[in-house]
Amino acid sequence: MEKALPPIPAKRYFTIGEVGDLCGVKPHVLRYWEQEFTQLRPMKRRGNRRYYQHHEVLMIRRIRDLLYDQGFTISGARNKMQEILQLEREKKRNGEVLLEGVEVIEAPEDEVADMQDDAAEMAGGGLTDRLLYLRRELFEIRDLLSPAH
- 74 and 118, same domain (yes or no): no
The pLDDT of residue 96: 66
- 65 and 20, same domain (yes or no): yes
User: Residue 100 falls within a domain, yes or no?
Assistant: no
Number of domains in the chain: 2
Distance between CA atoms of 33 and 36, rounded to whole angstroms? 5
The pLDDT of residue 97: 59
The pLDDT of residue 57: 95
Counting Cα atoms < 13 Å in the Cβ hemisphere of 142 gives 6
The pLDDT of residue 41: 92
Handedness of CA 78, 80, 81, 87 (dihedral sign): positive
> Which residues of the chain have a pLDDT value below 50?
1, 149
- 78 and 24, same domain (yes or no): yes
User: Residue 1 falls within a domain, yes or no?
Assistant: no
- 138 and 82, same domain (yes or no): no
What length does the chain have? Answer: 149
User: Residue 81 falls within a domain, yes or no?
Assistant: yes
User: Residue 57 falls within a domain, yes or no?
Assistant: yes
- 122 and 89, same domain (yes or no): no
User: Residue 19 falls within a domain, yes or no?
Assistant: yes
- The CATH number linked to 83 is 1.10.1660.10
The pLDDT of residue 135: 80
The pLDDT of residue 13: 93
Torsion of CA 93, 97, 101, 105, to 10 degrees: -160
User: Residue 104 falls within a domain, yes or no?
Assistant: no
Range of the domain at 139: 109-145
Distance between CA atoms of 9 and 52, rounded to whole angstroms? 13
Q: pTM here? A: 0.61
